[in-house]
Amino acid sequence: MLNVCSFAFDPGDDRALQIETDEIILFDEKLRNNIVSISRELNEDGLRVLIVAIKEFDVDHVVNYTTDDEKMTKLI
């Protein structure tokens, strides 16, 4: 999932995800590395991390997964 998304929601200082109001930020290499590092730390403590992505699309749109997945936004 980390390799197919280009953007992420920034939940802000309160760390509460609000999809309707949160800023969408570029999912760059620095953010990707930070998520991998935190995930490894949590894994070492016996916890598992799930990455969830969403994609808005028109219901009449035919989805081409090979290209459209690159436009997904991560929920972090």
What would you report as the CA-atom Rg of the chain, rounded to the nearest whole angstrom?
14
With 80 as the cut, is the pLDDT of residue 70 above it?
Answer: no
* Residues 38-64: tens digit of each pLDDT: 999 999 999 999 888 887 776 666 555
Helical residues (DSSP H) of the chain, grouped into ranges: 29-44, 65-68
* Residues 23-35: tens digit of each pLDDT: 999 999 999 999 9
How big is the chain, counted in residues? 76
With 60 as the cut, is the pLDDT of residue 5 above it?
Answer: yes
- Whole-Å CA distances, 73 to 1, 31, 47, 56: 10, 13, 23, 9
Compute how many other C-beta atoms are within 10 angstroms of the C-beta atom of residue 6: 14
How far from chain centre, in Å, is Cα 30?
Answer: 13
